[in-house]
Each structure stands twice: as C-alpha cells, then as structure tokens.
Structure 1
Amino acid sequence: MTTPTFEMEQALIAQGYPRIAGVDEVGRGPLAGPVVAAAVILNPQDIPDGLNDSKKLTARRRRTLDEDLRARAEFAIAEASVEEIDDLNILYASHLAMERAVAALHPAPDYLLIDGNLIPKGLTLPAQAVVKGDARSVSIAAASILAKNWRDQLMVDLAQQHPGYGWETNAGYPSKQHREALQNLGVTPHHRRSFKPVHNILYQE
C-alpha cells in the first residue's frame, strides 16, 4: 500500500512556491447533507506522522490527526449546501466548496494541489489536479481528514434532529437502513432532491 509523501510539495517549494495548499472534498455520494471541502497548508518542519487518505484510517486515528492538524497547520473548511448541490449538480457544488475553502486561507497559498482530475474553474491560483491525490500527497491527505471529520460530525449532529436514518453511522450514504428510512419516514430538508433515490420517493406515481 502506498502512503502519501511530501515529494510533490518539495518539488514545488524548490520552484519558488513556498506555501502549498492541499485541497480535497468529502461527501459526493451521500443522499443527505452538504458536500465539505478543506484546504490545508502544512508546515514542512512540522508534519504530523501517519497522514493518509481519510478512508484508510480508523475514526479514532482520524480524530487524533484532526487535532494535530488543527494545532500545527494552516487550514480552512467550507461547505456547499444541499440546495446548491440540487441547483448546480454535485460536481459543481464540490468545486464551489473547494473554492470557498481556498478563499478562506489568509494569506493566500502560492500553489494548489487538488484531489481529482479537474481544477475548479473559480480558482485563479497556480494549481495542479492530482488523481488519487489523497494517497500521493500528504497535504491532500490532510485536507481529506479535516473534511471527513467535519462532515461526519455534522451528520452526527443532524442525526439527533432526524433520528431513524442512521446518519450517525452512515453519514448520509445510501446504506440499507437509510434507504428503508427514506421509504418509511420520508424525505427531510437535508436530503438531496436531485439524487435518484430521493427524487423517486418525492415524485413516485
């Protein structure tokens, strides 16, 4: 299993880009809740050990790294709402969340490493799209951890207001419990109406 490194960042620093932000988003697949993005600038002299793609870490390890990153890195976290997801589509809403996270970093980064194969159109800084970036760059991995922890906690909080859907464990993804609750309990204001399983319930004959 490959683990992410600081090699891409080091090469960019050598080219004259000292402040490099890793950018990643979480939550494209769920039926409920916002999409969340984070932008992280690591201190090259103080990088937490064990950074990796958030999906490869236990919840406990993610929480520990989340605390480390908040104490030792520059970061910003941003969302695009369910309404924006339904209005724009999930890809553009994900990009909007990324743009907001980058815009919230002060001072601005010199260069962006963005997870995926597309650079959001609203980003004007020098940038590079990195496929499977959270497995290759520790800066992107750091962003994935902060975004996932933020979103998971948000869905735990929403689960208190809307019990029965299992959001505290499925984070809004279409688990069996979540799909059955949609049928039995109906659609909440936090559901993405443009997503087929939700749309089908709202507009079934």
Structure 2
Amino acid sequence: MIMREPTDVFGEWAEIGKDRGMEDSHAIAVNEMINFALKERLEIGEKFSFLDLGCGNGWVARLAVNNALCSQSIGIDGAQQMISNAQSRGGKTKYILADINTFNSPEKYDVIHSMEVLYYLENPADIVKRISDSWLNKNGRLIVGLDHYYENKDSHSWQEKIDTPMLMLKAAEWVQMFKKAGLNDVETWYSNKHADWNGTLVITGIK
C-alpha cells in the first residue's frame, strides 16, 4: 500500500486549521520541555539561539523568542501551508521551508527543540547525528518530544489512521540513538502521563 507523505498530510491539516488543535494538544508537554531547556539557559546567563525542528505554525518558536536571553529563534518545516501559517502570525522569528530529511543547517544553535517529528523522518538516527555533529553549539541541548513510541499502546494504530509512515521504536531505542549520535547526559521522562495515556516521551541530551 502506498502511504502519503507526512508533509502532505500536515499541509492539509494547516489548511483547515487543525494546526491550532495540535498546538493545544501538545501544549502541556511542550511547555514542560521549553521550561526545562530555558531554565538551563537562564542559569548559564548568556544569550542563546533556538531552533524548532518541524515547527508547524511556529507557536514554539514564538514562545522561545519571548525569553529575554533569546537572540534568535528559527523554525523549520517541510509543509508549505504550515510555514505560511507561521509567517502570517508575525513575531520576531524566522521560518524556513525545507525537507528535514535532507536539510543541512548553515548555522549552529544552543537549543534545538522538536515535538512529534522525528518518527516521521526517513532516517531519524541520521538527523540526530547531524544535529549532534553540526547543528549544536558546544554545550547545546537537543530536546525532543514523542507521542508515538512502543510503550504508548494508544499510538500503535496511528500509522493506519493517518495513512503516513511512522517509525515505531521503544523508549530505550530512542535513548540509544541519542547516545550513538554523541550526545551526553541523555535523560528521559514522561510528560502529562495519566490513566489512559502513557505520556509524551521526552528525550534530551547535551553536545
């Protein structure tokens, strides 16, 4: 069976306003991730640059740029309509339309965030390695949130429901991917976990 490209699916979602629903549903986990990363930057006490990988309508990039220490906030997405929606909402942010599978960042960042993106990529291990090698500044942090993973049984049917390829890995396999990429102090936790939901798997590490 031929499945649809993720960028086509999310482009259609953006056209019908479903991107705002994604923003609402991910808010608890994303705010927790951003607070974790930005608290660290506050403790460091220096200006930092921020990249949101798979930025959707840009809400996280706009959230980050409001931090007094944020010198630059960039969002990248492969769906044209998502980028159009992001640009239409203003803010002191920059957005890049690009295929994340092949994108090579010309700049380095202190914080790279990604929510619900990596498992849609053709080779996420390659992207994480590329981020570790070339996209992060020294002592920069990659922080990622995932709802589609083996331990979250509710997510097992999503690939068929959405009709787009999704990589299913266990939490330990994601951790190993980060470590193999050369990231240090890799840690995980589950955000917004409750009775009917295993929570968002958060994985983070430092260059």
The TM-score with structure 1 as length reference comes to 0.31
Structure number with greater CO (CA < 8 Å, separation at least 6) is 1
The TM-score with structure 2 as length reference comes to 0.31
